[in-house]
Copies of this chain bind each other. A is one copy, B any other.
Amino acid sequence: MLSPMRRITLFAHVGIVLMAWALPATSGEGMWTFDNPPRKQLLERYGFEVTQDWLDHLRCSSVRVGDGGSGSFVSPNGLLLTNHHVGRGQLQKLSTRDRDLVSLGFYARTTADELKCPDLELNVLVSMEEVTDQVLASVGPEMSAKEAMDARRRVIAEITKKATENNGLKSDVVSFYSGTEYWLYQYKKYTDVRLVMAPEGAIAFYGGDPDNFTFPRYDLDMCFFRAYENGIPAKTDQYLKWNTAGARCGDLVFVSGHPGSTNRLQSYIQTEYQRDVAYPARLKGVERQLSVLRKFAAQGPEQARQAAGSIFGLENSQKAMRGEYEGLNDKDLMAKKFQEDKDLHDRVLANPASKQAYAWAWDTIATVIERQKAQNRQSAMRFIRGRLYQMAFQLVQAADELAKPDGERQPPFQDANLAGMKFRLFSPAPVYPELEKVQIADGLAEALESDAKDDPFVKEALRGRSPEEAAKELVQGTTLGDAEVRKALFAGGEKAIADSKDPMIELARKALPLQNEFRSWNEKYVTAPTAKATEAFGKARFAVYGKSINPDATFTLRLSYGTVSGYPMNGTQAPAMTTLYGLYDRALGFDNKGAWALPKRFSEGVGKLTLSTPFNFVSTCDIIGGNSGSPVVNRAGEFVGLIFDGNIESLPGRFLYSEATNRAVAVHPGAIIECLRKLYDAGELADELEGVKARPTL
């Protein structure tokens, strides 16, 4: 299952264009921007011609879901389909001690029964405009890396602010090819989103953590929401027509979604650093956090419910990271990365102009990495985990940043982004104090065991107390669990923050200058020079290969294409499809126990189902975390599948795509309709999907 992803920071740009080489990307490879679909490959390999109408329709039916997922409109009445694991956060926030929607599932037979989500935002990319020249004009050749970064930040803030004022749309300036192109992306935004249907967690995530990121698979990982406008279901004229027959073996299919991030265009030594330093450290951290959460969950069913979301997310990250880390330890993969980097370097050195323009970047990266290895400076704030402190710091930072002119602020606090930030900060979703306590206590204990034990922030957080005492006093003393308190503090600005006696706010106030100092250091010695060098790599690569390669993923809308097909696995072939037959085979193979226990509805309902119905399937489409919930469409642009995962072999795809084994895993629409009609008694929803009739509105 794919993990949600955050956007990466934007990087900058200068300009030289060399002769473009057409680098033949592996077939199936690529997360293409909608301005540059792989027309040639599709025509040559599949005889498929991409029309502008087809593209526009697909783009406007595709939806970015929350902070890290994808989805699509599947009816003209705002009906949105995404994954259960993308909707999971909302299901949890809508749950209570007595009614756990994550495990029980939910179905609203009429729109009146639909449940309003506390903090789910949907975005549809309705406009794309290139602004490379405007952004580039702001950066002078005499500027230092840090000055250039600040200048770009200012001009990007201006462009987005003006765009939003113009048409009211949510606006983002995004960069591609490591800062070689800049685009203004504008989104139609929905913030009134309601829950329509979710199956039981046990069938959505069938096979649990063990089966996660694997195939053959038997998951009904779906969740239906509905976008509302002005209190009634939104009119979504652009939606994907449903095709119950769905994808078939050998079909050409497309995925339209929001891949979070990839590191394919990194230089070799950056990838090596990931392997030798970054991944081992991150994996160790995740393991520690998981052990704390599991211990908490073991205390009882309510504790288990509270910790379930975090455990779920961390297990998912852990499995993904392990797969990526395995890729980094694969000799062949690293040899290919080395060769790719060397080829680019050789071409750059072969031409005096490009040598002068770009060759320094390899040295800069080497210097930065040496520095990182010698002095592994990190923010000590990472030791305080949980939602409460995160919100406290955001409030303190907001008061500070909002006092500055828009262009000087950190990006999340710029006017164009403020609405989204407030939407999440003011969410009425519950906070669990006991869970917060154990997380903070463990983080502080970890700090004491580490090199950071004398860090001023850590000393301030502890003030002589044991980690447990400090955590207890911080959590029991704060009132930030109440959304109204947060709203009031935010509204009160600098003065309210300065006067607050809330211990979390007090700690965050102490943290702010320390954190700012760390950020400056980090920008100067790591972020800015890396950005500048990465930008040079990007420009060099763009100069050499042009748009025949596709940019790294950035949680912006991308188009992937591929074939529905199996792959070599475990000494044999994995099939392209599974069926409902296989669900029962797998359940019985494990005595219907553990992660493979069927929900009662499925064990008792077997006789109602046509078991030959396709259930899950794989295609060569190139995806990654963030693509969860993406629609799979056919040549006619119809909905033929619901992406929910990549296979284990796809995880090294963060660094290198391999058509032989990289597979995207999707739910088949046949199984969705079969289960809705025969097991969930949800004929109304199935009718709406199949266009039989619209559902009754309020």
Interface residues of A (CB under 8 A from B): 207, 210-214, 216, 249, 319, 323, 566, 569-573, 575-579, 581-582, 584-586, 588-591, 596, 611-612, 614, 648
Contact = CB atoms under 8 A, between A and B. Distances in A.
What copy number does this chain have within its complex? 2
Contacts of A614: 588
A471 to B, nearest CB: 36
A210 B582 contact: no
A577 B590 CA distance: 7
Chain A interface helix/strand/loop/mixed: mixed
A579 B589 contact: yes
A591 B323 CA distance: 30
A293 B614 CA distance: 38
A92 B291 CA distance: 59
A575 B207 CA distance: 11
21 contacts: A210-B572, A213-B571, A214-B570, A319-B571, A323-B571, A569-B570, A570-B648, A571-B648, A573-B590, A575-B586, A575-B590, A576-B590, A578-B585, A579-B589, A581-B581, A581-B588, A581-B611, A582-B589, A584-B611, A585-B585, A588-B612
Given A214-B572, A588-B614, 18 more contacts: A210-B573, A216-B585, A249-B591, A319-B571, A566-B589, A566-B590, A570-B570, A570-B648, A571-B648, A576-B591, A577-B589, A578-B585, A578-B589, A579-B589, A582-B589, A584-B612, A585-B585, A611-B611
Interface centre among A207, A323, A579, A588 (most CB of B within 10 A): A588
A216 B589 contact: yes
A663 to B, nearest CB: 12
A224 to B, nearest CB: 27
Contacts of A213: 571
A497 to B, nearest CB: 47
A262 B628 CA distance: 48
A475 to B, nearest CB: 37
A517 B591 CA distance: 62
Contacts of A590: 249, 566, 573, 575-576
A579 B584 contact: yes
Contacts of A575: 586, 589-590, 596
Given A584-B579, A589-B566, A572 B612 contact: no
A327 to B, nearest CB: 13
Nearest to A617: B589
Contact of A577 (B249, B570, B588): B588
Nearest to A581: B585
Contacts of A581: 581-582, 584-585, 588, 611
Contacts of A596: 575
A603 to B, nearest CB: 11
Contacts of A211: 572
A188 to B, nearest CB: 39
A566 B591 CA distance: 11
A147 B547 CA distance: 77
A222 to B, nearest CB: 20
A491 to B, nearest CB: 49
Contact of A579 (B577, B578, B585): B585
A617 to B, nearest CB: 9
Contacts of A569: 570
Contacts of A576: 589-591
A604 to B, nearest CB: 14
A579 B588 contact: yes
A15 B579 CA distance: 63
A579 B212 CA distance: 22
Contacts of A572: 207, 210-212, 214
A87 B581 CA distance: 31
A573 B213 CA distance: 12
Contacts of A210: 572-573
A214 B319 CA distance: 24
Contact of A582 (B573, B585, B591, B648): B585
Contacts of A573: 210, 590
Interface centre among A210, A212, A571, A579 (most CB of B within 10 A): A571
